[in-house]
Amino acid sequence: MRRFYVSVTALVVIAAACAPSAVAPRKLGVLNLKDTTDGAGGYVIKPQGVFWTAQNVQLPNSTVPPDSCLETSYSPPDTTTAVLINENVDAGSPVQVSTSTGIGSMTPDTIPNVIIIYHALGYIPHVPGTDVIYAVPGAAGGFESGTIHGKTPKRLDLGPIDPQPSDSLSLTWNIGVPGTSAVNIALIYQSLHASKPDSQLLCSLYDDGQFEIPPKQAAKWKAAYPNQQVAALRWITTFESLPNSGLLVAISEFDTTKTTFP
């Protein structure tokens, strides 16, 4: 068993409800994107993907978030999330990507004896909240051919967040598509005697625009004032089972941060 790295945001993997894949070995393809500003008021995406033979793998599922917050330690996020694999497989080349505003191709970048990661060649213009389509050509003896029509999330706009709540703490944001998209919000703070941010309230939320953090948890956020920051994302998963037991998964994200309050 080898370890590979793919850019699937840690917030999604840690706080998400999970949809397990088949217990028996199954060929799995995960295609990931997140919106990036193009510096001129628009957005672009640069998808990537990995294909492998997986067993007993749990995948994030945006349709069933637990709607709760947990207290956990914090360390600055790597841009990658580790996933254990048995066997990386070829899916053919290129994987075609299309959106309402642009098209592109993903080609494999091979690290010998480690992993094949598919990357888009350049950025693709994108409008948050529209569809993305991936067409996988497939390869003999590797991953089968298939197409997945994925949804992408709307912009995420956070409401005011009180850095010194007197009781519970209200989280608000623009409503997405509850039951399809989910929102993860991390309230990151520096605990007493720490020299840098080391703790967080990590919330996985139904995308209905509001959530109340209980007073006991909110008090820990308040006690850290003014050493506080927020990282958040709206995300959507799409699953497509293929005829020969392959499974394609599209994970799309829109990220945002908040460092001034409320």
Q: Which two tokens stand for residue 175?
A: 């409503």
What values do phi and psi take at 16, rounded to 5?
A: -80, 150
Residues 6+ apart with CB under 8 A from 112: none
Model confidence over 96-107: pLDDT tens digits? Answer: 999 999 999 999
pLDDT given at position 142: 94
Asked whether the CA dihedral 181, 207, 234, 205 is positive or negative, the reply is negative
Dist. CA 48–CA 46, nearest whole Å: 7
CB 56 within 8 A of CB 139: no
Q: What is the pLDDT of residue 24?
A: 67
Residue 156: both structure tokens together: 């995420």
Regions of the chain where pLDDT drops below 50: 1-17, 20-22, 81-85
